[in-house]
Amino acid sequence: MTVPHLALNDGHSIPQLGFGVFLVDPDETEGIVSDALAAGYRHIDTAAIYRNETGVGRAIAASGIPRDELFITTKLWIDHQAGSLPLTAIDESLEKLGLEQVDLYLSHWPAPERGTFVNAWERMVEIRDAGKARSIGVSNHLPEHLTALIDVTGVVPAVNQIELHPAYQQRDVVEYSARHDIRIEAWGPLGQGKYPLFEEAPVTAAAAAHGKTPAQVVIRWHLQNGTIVFPKSNRPARMQENFDVFDFALTDAEMAAITALERGQRVSGHPLEVN
């Protein structure tokens, strides 16, 4: 099964479906990522703050999959945004991952009270230019943060990874990003189990109509919206189920009904408050 690739604004491309390792126990990461790779995933999303980059790297090394078939993302934590710290942080991440380059490096949060997110972006441009990250982007950045980065450096992030699921769609961020050709990645794409998304009538109706699970329907909703998505599971059967979403399509009416579930229901931290 071939996962669609989306073009980025820097001339590279990214697999639209990947596998995330947020909250995956570092001691279990190698096995879980190995299972994901065996299920067909080639896009792995980790972060320095997850403390499981080493396990991701071990799974990559053990897989025997050619490097050019993999897409690996990691992220710069807010404690390392100031001064030249981003330059040290990428080297530490690359060592743990066992790689010479990541495919995408993201600034994890703007942490506006620290006043260092623009500096972080300037250093990330240097990291890209040094060949240590093929593409660079951000996570959890609002339009005001994105504008500041672009105004200072002239470099537009390739990606903005944000909380996005049917009950919280951040349309202002999505629309701003579309105007600037910034791809949106969804974290928490299934709502992190913090509200009964899989019991919502539009989701259950579409699942019944297509012979799919509610999770597959929501992942498909993301894909048809052009969002990059990486659901997380520690169970191989669920990993495979989440990957099996390319043999059906939601109708326009089904898409609209799920989109209408928007209610401003954030399930995690706000970018202005994570500092």
Phi, psi dihedral angles at 159 (to 5 degrees)? -145, 145
Tell me if residue 41 is catalytic: no
Q: What is the pLDDT along the chain (275 residues), one digit of tens a residue?
A: 689 999 999 999 999 999 999 878 899 999 999 999 999 999 999 999 989 999 999 999 999 999 999 999 999 999 999 999 999 999 999 999 999 999 999 999 999 999 999 999 999 999 999 999 999 999 999 999 999 999 999 999 999 999 999 999 999 999 999 999 999 999 999 998 889 999 999 999 999 999 999 999 999 999 999 999 988 888 999 999 999 999 999 999 999 999 999 999 999 888 888 88
55 is a domain residue:
yes
Residue 88 counted as domain residue: yes
In a domain, 211, yes or no: no
Q: Taking a C-beta distance cutoff of 8 angstroms, is the pair 260, 188 a contact?
A: no
Q: Nearest to residue 121, comparing CAs of 92, 154, 72?
A: 154
In a domain, residue 257? The reply is no
Q: What is the CATH classification number for the domain harbouring 98?
A: 3.20.20.100
Structural domain tally of the chain?
A: 1
40 assigned to some structural domain:
yes
Residue 81 domain flag: yes
Answer positive or negative: Cα dihedral of 174, 186, 26, 198: positive
pTM over 0.75: yes
Instruction: Tell whether 230 is covered by a domain.
Output: yes
CA 196, CA 191: separation in Å to the nearest integer? 9
- Output the CA angle 158-161-163, nearest 5 degrees: 155
Q: Which of 41, 50, 105, 176 is catalytic?
A: 50
Range of the domain at 152: 5-191+226-235
Q: Is residue 199 part of a domain?
A: no
